[in-house]
Each structure stands twice: as C-alpha cells, then as structure tokens.
Amino acid sequence: MDAIDLSLVDLLRGNARLSYAELARQVGLSAPAVHERVGKLESSGVVRGYRADVAPESIGLGVTALIGIVEDSGADTDDMLESLRVLPEIESCYFMAGVESFLLKARVGTIAELEQLIVRLNRTPGVASTRTAIALSTKWENRPQPVGPPAA
C-alpha cells in the first residue's frame, strides 16, 4: 500500500467504472501495471468489490430505520447474528459497545413493512428489546472520505 495504491483506491471509490487506461493516466503508470496493482488490492481484501450506488427510493425502499437491539442475558450472540443475517431488510449490522448489543440499519418500502420487521425482531430468540428510530431523510450516505496521509 504505497501512495499510488492509495490514489487508485481513492479514484475507484469516486468512480468504480474508470478504465484501467484512465486510472493509468491518472497515476502515471502503464495500464498493465495498474491492472496488476488493482488485482492485488482485490485479492488482498483492500478492495472488497464494486457497487452501483442506487437511490433506494427508486427501487421501492423508501423507508430507512435504525434499530438498536438489547440482548437477553445469556443469549448466544452468534445464534442471534445468524437470525439477523437472514433478514434481507437489514442492510448493515454493527456490534456495539453499550446497552444495545446491535445497531441495525434497515431499509423497507413502507411503514407497514417496518412494523413487520420489528415484530419479527422482537420474536427472535435472544432479543430482549428493540428501539427503532426512523430516518426522515438521508442527508448523505457512504460519502467517501479522502484518504488520509498522502492526499494528492
């Protein structure tokens, strides 16, 4: 991970569809060299994939909610995780410090669907309680932070 790798990562975070030729021009290397570097970034796990950033409301997921989960004392955290993982509405899942063991970001189409999700969560073994906060609007999301040390 030298400065050129960081530039590549930065460029690809801004636009994942840049061609290798374009990346090569930006960082001052040849296209094959860039191809190899990016390949190594991928196989070493630095770059986990490439995703289209889609407006959620345009694919019927207009409701965003943040849900905190308090575990039962004695609950098996791994089992709970598996239960959470199968719920497709849960877009992100963080294991937290604090009273609430998990913080979920969930995306659904309607408030009714959110209700169903919350009911399902409360029925899940190991869940003592949930606390849901609805996002009225998303000001921004997953904004890439310019890479720290060798910026440009």
Residue 31 lies near DNA (rule: CB under 7 A):
yes
* Centroid of chain to Cα 40: 22
CB neighbourhood size of 108 (10 A):
20
Q: Does 20 bind DNA (CB under 7 A)?
A: yes
Q: Which one among 94, 110, 111, 125 touches a copy of itself, defined by CB under 8 A?
A: 94
> Minimum distance between the CB of residue 28 and a copy of itself, rounded to whole angstroms?
20
Q: Which of residues 33-72 bind DNA (CB under 7 A)?
A: 33, 35-37
Binding partner of residue 136 among DNA, a copy of itself, none, CB cut-off 5 to 8 Å per kind: a copy of itself
Q: Does 29 bind DNA (CB under 7 A)?
A: yes
| Structure-token pair, residue 99 | 């009273």
**Residue 43, phi then psi, degrees to nearest 5:** -75, -20
Q: Is 139 in the site for a copy of itself (CB under 8 A)?
A: yes
For the chain, the residue count is: 152
Task: Give, in order, the Cα–Cα distances in Å from 146 to each of 39, 87, 133, 135.
Answer: 22, 32, 29, 26
**Binding site partner of 22, from DNA, a copy of itself, none, Cβ cut-off 5-8 A by kind:** DNA
Coil/strand/helix, residue 86: coil
Give the integer Cα–Cα distance in Å for 58 and 47.
27
- Which CB atom, from 40 or from 120, has the smaller least distance to DNA? 40
Between CA 66 and CA 87 the distance in angstroms is 14
Instruction: Quickly tell me which residue has 């209700």 as its tokens.
Output: 115
User: Considering only 28-36, 66-74, 87-95, 132-140, which stretch makes contact with DNA by CB under 7 A?
Assistant: 28-36
Residues that bind DNA (CB under 7 A): 4, 19-22, 29-33, 35-37
